[in-house]
Every structure is written in structure tokens, then in C-alpha cells.
Structure 1
């Protein structure tokens, strides 16, 4: 998918014009993209959107029509517009693989290049990474709540626009929801497509049984019947049983039934019992209607017999406490090789300066112990003392038996991808594997264990030094 370079905030262009006019546009700079708090008040996030972001960067250029529009705004000089005519992204990108489990406070994407190009891509990268990471995380929470049951993404009609629907389906796949009702997402991303029929199908026929029979005749090997149009237990269920018997006589099996209203946990138990008693244990029960991880977990506690959850609105819109937006930010961390720091009165919101690496400490069994943000060239060994970024007085040691691995790698150099892009299946597998390696309690939906993200001694010292320098310069 290609995006116009005008998918940006105006201030990106005005800053570029200023950098260009001041002769600063080619000075080397580095920016970090990160978020401060895990979404949904949860214990983790699932990184997504990287491939989309890299495609945007590779194709970034201004068309004649777009330049004409900017000229008509009458705020940009002709020489700057001429510069934009040849504008391309030629920098580098360091990032985790899609599907990696990540946490608040640690750099996700580091963008390095000339000041102009590294600054300009801020808005688009935040738009892509913020939403897809949020949607992948929501999907992971829903899939974990569903246990062994299948989850389908049904959210296109409630998504925030066509692109939101596509991005949600893609990101949800990475998070573990590996099928969608969105046919375009199926074609574009290779995601399996699934669906049933609407209540209007039932209402378009003289009666419910006639509608069921017609649908079964059309799709005898993939028939899922919606049984709650009039009354789930009094007519929908008996009519579905009738069609199941008729399909069986013709050598086919009813694939499933869907319930879209009422007490889903109770109804699923009644429907399951009826199909089992009639000799159809293979018929799947699909449930939908404003589902999310909390509703699914509650229904499972009540003993529901649901095989497949169709999750739409609350997945595609990332609804829920602590959801709605990831809150990712994009901050300058280095310019001309010198570290840069944004300082506020809240130490927890002070940025982490300079170019960095993110290390993950693994236990001998491969499970995650903690993440560590360190200066790029800093040597870190097991046993090292590491610090809480929000309260540097607090510190711990990396266990001696830990193995340290880098979470990120360079994925784009000189404006071109430098590593193969994994397919979505591999990214989804990575997310599933890494979620199981988190410490106990991190996967809880409510009051999860807080995974430790620390900073190294070198980074802590540098940040304190820059803080003192800035405070002495501006706060005397």
C-alpha cells in the first residue's frame, strides 16, 4: 500500500522548509519512536506495522500534483519546492521484527539520516506503528482470553475508514487472530477469509427454514447458519438441526451455527447439548456481538461451549480501558553525533539520549527476565547493575546466568530494505512464542505483572549529565 507524502502534519513541512533555508537539512540526526505506557493497562505490546512503514519509506516522493498543491498554499519558497521534487528517504531504520513482544519506554524504531528526511517521516511512522501495534496487542489479548477457541476478525464495517479496516486485519493476524471477514485484506495479505450470512438473508425468505435450506444448498460444505433472527432455541436451533440432518443425507456436514444476541454463554450450552444429542458433535458454535477479551474470559468462566468467536468492533477500533490510541512519540536523540535530551519536570518523561540498543536478558530456559536500554557501543555483561529509568536510585543486577540478545536490528540502509521481510505467518508465530516466554502474571488482563525495562549505567550517567547541563543553562 502506498501513501502520499502529504499524509503528514503541516508542521513537518514547515520545519523542513526552515531546516532547508538554514542549511541544516542534511545534518545527521537520529530519532527514536517509542510509547511510554503499555496499552490497555496491560503487561506488554505486540509490535506491528513495520513492513507497512518500510513500504512507505521506499516509495516516498512528491508528485507534480502534490507539489502544485503545496505551491498554492503560498507559504513555501520556490527553491524549497524544487528541493522537494527530488526528495527521497535515504536513511536507515533499526527495529524489532514484527510480532516481537515490546514494552513501554524502549525504542521501537530508530530513524537515522539527514535531519530533513528523518524529521519528515515522523507523522506517517507514528500513524502506522501506533495503530497496528495497538491492534496487534488487542488481538493478542483476545486470542489469549479465548484459549483453544478460534477467533475471527469481523471489524471492517466498524473500523475507522477503509485503511483502518485493512490495517486492523493485518495487525490482528500478527497478534493471533488469523482469519478475517475482510476480503480485500485476504487478497492483499494472504489472510484466510471467513464469514456466514446476515439476518437479512433469513428475513428475505418466506420463513427461517427455507432460508437455511437455500443457504445450505448454495454452500453445502461450508454452511454456518445464523440462528438468532427470531428465537435461538425455539426455532433457530430446531431448524438448524433439520438442515444438518438433510445435509448428512446428501453426504455433507453442517459446519456450524452462529449466535449473535442474547446470553451467549447460556445459549451455547443449550445448542451444544442439542447437537451432541442429535449426533452432530462436529458442528461448531460461533458467537459474535460486541465481544472482547473481558467478555470472552467471563463467558469461559461461566462454562460456555463456544468454538469460534467473531470479534468485530472492539478489535478493529481497539476499544477498551487504556486503548483507543497507543500514544507513541517520536523524539530527536542525536544530531551531528551529539546526544540530545528532552527534559521536563517529570523525570519519567525525560527522553533517553543518543543512539541506543535494546537488549533482552533471557533465562537458561529462554524465558524473559528483563529488557535493557543501553548506549549503542556500550559493553553489557551478565551481572551488570542496571537502573530504573523513572527512578535512577532504584537498581538491580542482571542475573549472572542470563543470556543477552539484541531485540532490534537494522532493517533499512540507504533507503532500501537490507533484510528479507518475514511473512505474516512467521510474525504471528513469533508473537505467540514470545508471549509464552513472559514472566508469570504479565498476561493477566487486570493488574498484570509489570515487566522490568531498565537502562544501563552508561545511559543513566549520560542522561543525568545532560539533565544537569540543561538545568544549569535554562533554569538558573
Structure 2
């Protein structure tokens, strides 16, 4: 899929035009992409969207039609239009792998490129990575709440447009939701597609039993019946049991029923009891209707007997407290040979300057202890003192017996993806599941989760403090 270079904020182009006039377009620059708070007031975030972002960068090129549009705005000089005509991304990208559990302040993606290139890609990278990371995190939370039950994604009709619908299906898969109702996502991304029928199917026939029988005639081996059009317990399930008996006589088995309204915990328990009593213990109970991780957790806590959860609106729109958007930002951390930082009166919003490494301290059993951000050339070892990035007066030591691993890799050089084999969506989903299994269990709580510790090294802390002092002196 080609992303147009016009998928950007207008000020990116005005800055580029200014850099061109100032002779700064080729100045070496380094930008970091990170966020300051986990979404959904949660204890972790699942990184996603990197493959889409790399595709964008690798194919970044202005068409003549796009250049003609910019020229027609009457703002840019011909020299700038000519500059854009030869524009390509030739930089280096360092990033954490998709499916990785990440946290606030960590440099998820670092862009090293000539200033004009690194500047232009800001908006598109944030658009791609913020949204897919948000969806993957929501999906991981929903998947965790389901506790081993299957989760289906069918939020296409509520997603933010056709492109958003595809991004939702992909990112949800990375977060562990491995099927979708989106047929286009099935074709383009290879995601298994699932679905039953709507209430309109039932209402199109003279009565519910006839509708069930007709659906079973068309799909005898894949029959899942929606049982709540009229009355779930008095009509829907008894009629479904009748059809299940008729299918069995023909050599087939009813796969399942779907409940889309009412008290899902109670109705699923009753459905399970009724099907078991009728001799159909293998029939699956599917629940849908405005589900999210909190509703699913409530259904389970009330003894619900749901085998499959269909999650649509609240996954596709990432609704819920602390949701709606991931506050990812993209900040200049080095230009030429000078480390840079954004200075504010709130140290929590001051950026972390210069090229950096991102390390994870891992215990002998594989569990994650803490993450450390350090300068690129700085040596870090277990037992070292590290500092809270939002309150440098607070410090801890790295666990003495920890193993330190690098969380990031170079994934693009010279504007081309590196030779590292592309990971399948299944591998990315497996990674996210494994990552959550190695987090402190308190991080997985939906209410008041444990705060995973992210620290900065002594060298990075000292560099930031020095640059802040110099900036305050210079700008007084």
C-alpha cells in the first residue's frame, strides 16, 4: 500500500522549504518517537505498526500530480518543488520489534537522516504508529481478559474509515486477536475471516425456526445461529436445539450460537446448561454487543460460559477510560554534532537528548525487571545506579543478577529495510503474548496496575541536566 507524501501536516512542508532556503536540508539529524503515558490507564503498551511505517519510508516519493497540487497553492517557490521532485528517504531506522511490551519515555523508533527527510516523515510515522500501537494494546487487554477464550475482531463498521479498518485488523492481530470480520483484511493481510449472520436474516423469514433451518441448509458444516432476535431462552435456543438435532441427523454438528443482547453472563450460563442437557456439549457460545476488557472480565467473574467473544466498536475505536489516542510524540534529540532537548518547566516533559540505547533487565527465569535508557556509547551493568526520568532525585540500582538485553535493532539503512526476515503476524502475536507472560503480573491489572520501572542512566541524566542548565542560561 502506498502512503502519499501529502499524508502530512502542512507545517512539515513549510519547515522543509525554510530548511532549503537556509541551506540546512542535509544537516544530520536524529529524532526519537516515544510516548509519555500508557493508554487506558494501563500498566503496559504493545508496540505495533512498524512494518507499515517502513513500507511508507521505503516508497516515499512525490508524484507529478502531487507536486502540481503543491505548486498550485501559490506558496512554495519553484526551487522547493524541484527539491521535492527528487525527494527520497535515505536514513537509518532503529526500533523495537512489533509485539514488544513498551513503556513511557522509551525511544521506540529513532530516525537518523538528513534534517529535511527526518522532518517530513514525522506526521505519517506518528499517524501509523500511534494508532496501531493503541489498537494492539487494546487487543492485548481484551485477549488477556478473555483468559484463553477466543476473541474475534469485527469493528470494521465503526472504524475510522476504510484505512482505519485495515489498520485495526492488523494491529489487533499483533495484540493477539487472530481473526476478523473484515474480508479485505483477510485478502490483503492473510487474517482468518469469521462471521455468522445478522438479525435481518431472521427477520427476512416468516419465523425464527424457518430462518435457522434455511441458514443451516446453506452452511451445514459452518452453522452458527444468532439466537436473540425475539427471545433468547424461550425461542432462540430451543429453535437452535431443534436445528442442531436436524443437522446431526444429516451428519453435521451445530458449531455454535451467538448472543448479542441482554445479560450475557446469565444468558451464556443458561445456554450452556440447555445445550448440555440436550446432548450438545460441543456447541460454542459466542457473545457480542459493546464488549471490552472490563465487560469481559465482569462476564467471567459472574460465571459466564462464553467460548468466543466478538469485540467490535470498543476495540476499533479504542474507547474506554484513558483511551481514544496514544500521545506519541516525535522530538529532535541531535542535530549535527550537538545533542538537543526540549526544555520545559516540567522536568517530566523534558525530552531525553542524543542517541540512546534501550535495555531490559531480565531475571534468570525470563521475567522482566526494569528497562534502562542510556547513551549510545555508555557502558551499563547490573548494580549500576539509574534514575527516574520524571524525577531524577529518585534512583534505584539495576538488579545485581539481571541479564541486560538490547530491545532495539536497526531495521532500515540507506532508506531500505535491512535483510532481517520479515516476521509473520502470527510471530508478532506470539511475541506480544509471551511479553505479557514475562511482565510483573500487577502490570496486567486493569484497575490501579503496577507501574513498571523505566530508568535513565547516570550519563544520560547528567547530559540532560547540563543541557537544561545551558538552555536556561542562554535564553534568559
TM-score greater than 0.5 by the shorter chain = yes
Give the deviation of 1:337 after TM superposition.
Answer: 2.1
Give the deviation of 1:420 after TM superposition.
Answer: 1.9
Give the deviation of 1:440 after TM superposition.
Answer: 2.7
1:251 is paired with a residue whose SS is: coil
Task: Look up the match of 2:66.
Answer: 66
Give the deviation of 1:421 after TM superposition.
Answer: 1.6
Counterparts of 2:441 and 2:429 in 1: how far apart (Å)? 21
User: How do residues 21-100 of structure 1 correspond to structure 2 at under 5 angstroms?
Assistant: 21-100=21-100
Counterparts of 1:290 and 1:444 in 2: how far apart (Å)? 21
Task: Look up the match of 2:458.
Answer: 457
1:71 is paired with a residue whose SS is: helix
Alignment of 1:347 onto 2:325: no
Task: Please report the RMSD computed on the Cα atoms of aligned residues, expressed in angstroms.
Answer: 0.6
Moved runs in structure 1, 4+ residues, more than 4 A?
none
Task: Look up the match of 2:472.
Answer: 471
1:441 is paired with a residue whose SS is: helix
Counterparts of 1:156 and 1:384 in 2: how far apart (Å)? 48
1:433 is paired with a residue whose SS is: helix
Counterparts of 1:437 and 1:52 in 2: how far apart (Å)? 27
Counterparts of 1:440 and 1:428 in 2: how far apart (Å)? 19
Give the deviation of 1:474 after TM superposition.
Answer: 1.1
Task: Look up the match of 2:442.
Answer: 441
Counterparts of 1:469 and 1:302 in 2: how far apart (Å)? 59
User: 1:160-209, CA deviations, whole angstroms, 9 ceiling, x for partnerless residues?
Assistant: 10111110110000101110000111111111110000000001111111
Task: Look up the match of 2:392.
Answer: 392
User: 1:130-158, CA deviations, whole angstroms, 9 ceiling, x for partnerless residues?
Assistant: 00000000000000001011000010000
Give the deviation of 1:255 after TM superposition.
Answer: 0.5
Give the deviation of 1:88 after TM superposition.
Answer: 0.5
Counterparts of 2:224 and 2:290 in 1: how far apart (Å)? 19
Give the deviation of 1:443 after TM superposition.
Answer: 0.2
User: 1:221-271, CA deviations, whole angstroms, 9 ceiling, x for partnerless residues?
Assistant: 111000001111111111100000000000001000000001111111111
Alignment of 1:132 onto 2:120: no
Q: Which residues of structure 1 form unaligned runs of 5+?
A: none
Counterparts of 2:371 and 2:69 in 1: how far apart (Å)? 46
Counterparts of 2:366 and 2:264 in 1: how far apart (Å)? 39
TM-score by length of 2: 0.99
- Corresponding residue pairs, total: 475
1:365 is paired with a residue whose SS is: coil
Task: Look up the match of 2:269.
Answer: 269
Counterparts of 2:337 and 2:323 in 1: how far apart (Å)? 37
User: 1:412-466, CA deviations, whole angstroms, 9 ceiling, x for partnerless residues?
Assistant: 0000000222111100000000101001300000100000000000000000000
Moved more, 417-426 or 310-319: 417-426
2:80 is paired with a residue whose SS is: helix
User: 1:74-130, CA deviations, whole angstroms, 9 ceiling, x for partnerless residues?
Assistant: 110001100101100000100011101100111000000000000000000000000
User: How do residues 123-162 of structure 1 correspond to structure 2 at under 5 angstroms?
Assistant: 123-162=123-162
Counterparts of 1:338 and 1:411 in 2: how far apart (Å)? 24
Counterparts of 1:140 and 1:399 in 2: how far apart (Å)? 28
2:441 is paired with a residue whose SS is: coil
User: 1:301-330, CA deviations, whole angstroms, 9 ceiling, x for partnerless residues?
Assistant: 000000000000000000011000001000
Counterparts of 1:12 and 1:421 in 2: how far apart (Å)? 30
Counterparts of 2:298 and 2:460 in 1: how far apart (Å)? 44
Counterparts of 2:107 and 2:439 in 1: how far apart (Å)? 19
Q: Which residues of structure 2 form unaligned runs of 5+?
A: none
Task: Look up the match of 2:422.
Answer: 421
1:93 is paired with a residue whose SS is: strand
Counterparts of 1:104 and 1:199 in 2: how far apart (Å)? 44
Give the deviation of 1:400 after TM superposition.
Answer: 1.2
Counterparts of 2:307 and 2:9 in 1: how far apart (Å)? 45
2:443 is paired with a residue whose SS is: coil
